[in-house]
Structure 1
C-alpha cells in the first residue's frame, strides 16, 4: 500500500456515516492531511425520493452532514439544531407525508439540490457542488446518476402491495412483512462518473457496516460495480453490521430475513461471498462477541478479523476504520 493509500468506502445510512468519519480520522492519524485526495465514498442513493416537489437524498445528506460536523447525532439524521416550521406548514396544507419530518435547514439542502437538478446538473455534479460548502475531507460520489428509488413489496392485510422504501421504513417501521426489494431501472443504470475508476485505482476498498440489503445492496446492483470489485487489485474488506447476532441500528434483520439470510456476522459474510469464489470479500471484520463465528467465516473463503465493532464515539469509529485498513496486511 502507498504511504497515502487510496481508499474507497461503500456506504449508506447512519452506520455508513459513522464509518466514513472513522475512515477520515484513521487516515489523518496516519499523517494524511489532504484526505480528500485519497478518500472516495460511493454513497447509496437507493432510498432517494421526490417529496413535495423536492429531491431528497437521505444517505448523501447524512454522510455530508456528518463529515461537515453539522449532523444531528442524537436522531442520527438531519441537521443539528434544526427547526420544523416549514414541515408544520406543509402538514397544515395536507402536503407531503405527515409522518416524514423535514427540518428547515434540511429543506434548504433539498431546495438547492432540486434547483440545480432542474438547471441540468447531474446528481454527481450536485454532490460535488454541495461538497464545496464544507471541508469534508473526502470525495463523495452517488452510486449512479439515475433515479433508482427502492420499492418494497409487502404483505398487508392478506394482500400484496408495493410502497416506497421510505414509507415502509419510516412510517411502518418495517413492520409490514417484505416480500421483495426492487430498484426499478437499475439494470439500465450506469455507475456515477469516477466510481468504477476509483475502485479500480484503490489500494483498499472498505464496505461499511451499513444495511446489506437496502444500503449496500443497491450500490452492488448498479451494473459494473460488482465487476469492478471483483477485478480490482485492491483488497476488499467488509465490516459486519451484526454484533452478537443482533443488528446495531434499524431493521436490517427484517431485510435480511426477507432475502433468506440469517442475522449473523457469518451469514452476512457469506451473502457478500469470497472473492476467491466469485464473491466480493477478501477479509471481514467481526465483533469480539462473534469470535466463535471466525471459523465459519474462514470456511467460506474469507479471512476473519476479530475487533471491537461498536462505534460509540469518534475515537471508536476511527479505531474500527484503522483496523479495517490494517486488515489488508493479513
Structure 2
C-alpha cells in the first residue's frame, strides 16, 4: 500500500490500547511510515475525574503511554517503573482515595494536564500538547471537550463515580444503570466528526461496549457521523467464548439487559442497514457457531483469532479488521 489510508478507531482502556497498537503495527507492516497521518483514535473520556485537585483521564493516558512504550503492561495501567511516594504522602494527609493509586510519574502527567486546563486549553489542545513528547504514531482526540464523567446508579439509588464502583468495589455492587451527566449537551471534540467523515475505515475496538464505547457513541453527532460516513464500520467483539476478555464488561452488559455473548454485543451496536452502526463484526474462532446469529442482524460476521496476547497477534487482529473493511 503506497498511499496512507485514513483509519479511525473508537477506543477506551487497556483492550483499546492493545488494539490501537495492533493497528499501528499492521499499518507499519503494510509499509506506512507516517502512521500518525493515517491513524486517528477517538478516545473515551467518560471515566475521567477530578481527584486531589487534578484532572485524571485514564483512557487517554492508557493509550498515550501504550503508544509511547512507557506503559506498565503488567498492571495494565500507569507508567512502567513508577514509584508511589507522593501517593503515600497524600494518603498520610487523608487526601484522595486510599484504594486509588496515583504513581509519581503518572501524577506528573495529571499535574501538567491540570495546569494547562487551568491556563485555558481545551482537552483536545491538552492531548495534542501531550502527544508532542513521544512519537505516538497516531493522532489522539477526546470524544468531547465537555466533562461528562460516568455515574453508576445502584438498585438502592446510591450513586457512585464509575472509578469508585470499578476500582474500589471491582463492580461487585449490582448497577441498575450508567449515566453521563451533561452528555446530551456535549458536542464532539474538534476533528472527531471530520475524521469519521473522511475515513476509509472506522474500527470499533474491543473495549467495554457500555462504559468505553457507549459514551463515545452517546456524544451528540457521533452516531450520526458513523451512519453517514462512506467508510465501512467494522467492530471487534470484546467477548470470546461467552466470556469477557478483561475487566467487568459482563456486569455492565447485564445492567442494560444484554447477554454476554459476541452476537448479543453485535446486536447492541446494530446494523447500518437497520439504523445501527456496523457493517462487519469480528468474532473469535470459539464463537464461530454465532456467525449465523450475527448475520441475522444484517451484519457481516468475520471469524478470526481475537486474542491479543502479544504485539504480533494484536497486529494480526488489526490486519483482519482492515481486510474486513476492504483495505
> TM-score w.r.t. structure 1 length?
0.98
Number of the residue aligned with 2:326: 329
Q: CA deviation at 1:63?
A: 0.2
Query: What's the offset of the Cα at 1:3?
Result: 3.2
Q: State the Cα deviation string for residues 52-102 of structure 1 (Å, max 9, x = none).
A: 000000000000000000000000000000000000001100000000000
Residue 104 (structure 2) aligns with: 104
CA contact (8 A) 1:141 1:195 kept: yes
Matching residue of 2:221:
224
Aligned counterpart, 1:57: 57
5+ residue gaps, structure 1, are: none
Alignment partner of 1:267 out of 264, 272, 275: 264
RMSD: 1.0
Q: 1:182 aligns with which of 179, 182, 189?
A: 179
Task: Show the counterpart of 1:245.
Answer: 242
Q: Specify which of 303, 317, 322 is matched with residue 306 of structure 1.
A: 303
Q: Deviations over 1:140-188 (max 9, x none)?
A: 0000000000000013xxx321010000000000000101100000000
1:2 Cα deviation after fit: 8.2
Q: How does 1:209-220 map to 2 (within 5 A)?
A: 209-220=206-217
Q: 1:179–1:258: 8 Å Cα contact kept in structure 2?
A: yes
Which of 313, 316, 321 pairs up with 2:313? 316
User: 1:69 maps to what in 2?
Assistant: 69
Contact 1:2 1:203 in 2 (8 A): no
Deviation sequence 1:257-310 (CA, Å, 0-9, x none): 000100000000000000000000000000000000000000110000000000
TM-score norm. by structure 2 comes to 0.99
Contact 1:152–1:182 (Cα < 8 Å) also in 2? yes
Displaced runs of 4 or more, over 2 A: none
